Amino acid sequence: MRRIRLAATAALATALGLTAACGGGSSTGSEGGNDKPDELTYWASNQGTSLEHDKEVLTPEIEKFEKKTGIDVKLEVVPWDSLLDRILAATTSGQGPDVLNIGNTWSASLQASDGLLAWDDETLDRIGGRDRFVPSALAAAGAEGQDPAAVPLYSLSYALYYNKAMFAEAGIEEPPATWDDFVEIGKRLTGDGTYGVAVEGGNPVENSHHAFVFGKQHGADFFDAEGNPTFNTPEAVAAVKQYVDFLANDRIAAVGNAEYAQNQSVKDFATGKAGMLLWQAAGSSLKAHGMKPEEYGVAPVPMQSENPPEGRNVNSMVAGINIAVFKNSDNLDGAVDFVKFMTSTEEQKILNATYGSIPPVKEAQQDEAFSTTDLTVLREVLSTTSAPLPQVPDEAQFETLVGDAMKELFADAAAGDEVTTESVRERLTEAQQQMQN
């Protein structure tokens, strides 16, 4: 008898517990507040050589914040390949972190989903004001004319990394400034199992970044003024073809590059299999593969000509990581304080110096830690010849669809199929047609 009652009670309790748990999750749509002022959850992105490395770097810094404010911060480092899915799930369920890192190219897309706290002037003033940040970095934090959806945390740009010894051996004195030079040098470096350049052909996101830069140089924007996709304009086709041609027609990249998606190209460069690499802040990864800083040089990414016209003198995206506050946070004040801490001049110096990135906070940039030769190149590119990826709601789709189309083009080339203007246009048209809204 008692046992039955016990079972019944247990069953009922389970049922109630479960419904209660679901009820707790239904805060979707409601605004956050300050109900839990003593705790914060922070999702950091993977900036170091591994998730563990990130934890080692961030934990002592976060402890400083905990000591100062008494807020208990739970840190989770989320790998890149699942970060966006996790953010989307958090936005849908309303159950997410309080503070999180986002790839700055997602800013406008996430802004449209309305899950992140908007940084109006008043909120920005709480972390020292708009003017503390480099304008181009802040421009990559949301759609134009709207309050930023995030605040820049680490800035990065693409650069051309070249192997000094291989250049010297081939009698090349200067890194290429134009793509014609680049291809010519690439051909001289190719042979005997080595190649001119290594590309990450199987990685859609990486591909799309190059599509953007080559696009800018050809005058293609991939989105029109209304934010509608224009993936298959003649300029866009020429841009994508030029990049894929490194493998397909110039043959200065190894065919095997077509399936690279796990940063094998960095390894190929570090081990001398390829003489050049287009990458952002490769320093720490190269070191991890045993390449010393004096063994490679860093130069700006080439342009179409020595003096490209205004508007086409772009050789990098404004790459970087933004830090955002989740709107549903139960500790909004604490979250803003945490962002203030992470973007403070002192923390900016420490974190960016460790990760090999450039601080988007002007004051921190002055530090001499960021005046090394390669970081000077990155800094100059960022301030003069970089452009933010289109800040439109569909940007994330551009990265996937165009990046995928390029992956397929690389695969075609690797299979021995010819890559022509026509085949590039076909792939890009297919990509555009998948955009339904």
Partner 1 sequence: MTATTLDTPPAGPGGKPPAGRGAARGHRRRGRGRIRRGALPYLLLLPALLLELLIHLVPMAVGVVMSFKELTQHYIRDWGAAPWAGLDNFEVAVDFDAPVGEALLRSFLITCAFTVLAVGLSWLLGVTAAILMQDPFRGRGLLRALFLTPYALPVYTAVITWSFMLQRDNGLVNHVLHDQLGLTGQPTFWLIGDNAFVSLVVVSVWRTWPFAFLVITAALQNIPREVYEASAIDGAGIWQQIRRITLPSLRPVNQVLVLVLFLWTFNDFNVPYILFGKSAPESADIISLHIYQSSFVTWNFGAGSAMSVLLLLFLLVVTAGYLLLTSRGRKAASA
**294 φ/ψ angles, rounded to the nearest 5 degrees:** -80, -10
Which runs of E-coded beta strand occur in 79-181? 99-103, 151-156, 158-163
163-166 contact pairs (CB < 8 A, 24+)? 163/269, 163/272, 163/274, 163/275, 163/276, 163/295, 163/296, 164/294, 164/295, 164/296, 164/297, 165/272, 165/295, 166/194, 166/272, 166/275
Could you tell me the smallest distance in angstroms from the CB atom of residue 28 to partner 1?
6
Question: Is 178 within 8 Å of 302 (Cβ atoms)?
Answer: yes
Question: Is 364 within 8 Å of 355 (Cβ atoms)?
Answer: no
| Among positions 256, 295, 340, 369, the unique one binding partner 1 when judged by CB under 8 A | 256
Q: Is 396 in the site for partner 1 (CB under 8 A)?
A: yes
Q: What number of helices (H) and strands (E) belong to the chain?
A: 18, 13
Q: Which two tokens stand for residue 305?
A: 């000509």
Contact pattern from residue 401 through residue 420 relative to partner 1, giving x for each residue in contact according to CB under 8 A and a dash for the rest: x--x--xx-xxx-xx-----
**Number of residues counted as binding partner 1 (CB under 8 A):** 51
Nearer to partner 1, 15 or 168 (CB): 15
Q: Is 51 in the site for partner 1 (CB under 8 A)?
A: no
| Among positions 109, 157, 280, 316, the unique one binding partner 1 when judged by CB under 8 A | 109
Q: Is 11 in the site for partner 1 (CB under 8 A)?
A: yes
Could you tell me the smallest distance in angstroms from the CB atom of residue 84 to partner 1?
8
* Candidates 1-9, 180-188, 349-357, 381-389; binding stretch for partner 1 (CB under 8 A): 1-9
| Among positions 147, 184, 259, 426, the unique one binding partner 1 when judged by CB under 8 A | 259
Q: Is 48 in the site for partner 1 (CB under 8 A)?
A: no
Nearer to partner 1, 19 or 371 (CB): 19
Q: Residues in the site for partner 1, rule: CB under 8 A?
A: 1, 4, 7-8, 10-11, 14-15, 18, 22, 28-29, 81, 85, 88, 91-92, 94, 109, 112-115, 202, 204, 254, 256, 258-259, 261, 264, 327, 393, 396-397, 400-401, 404, 407-408, 410-412, 414-415, 430, 433-437
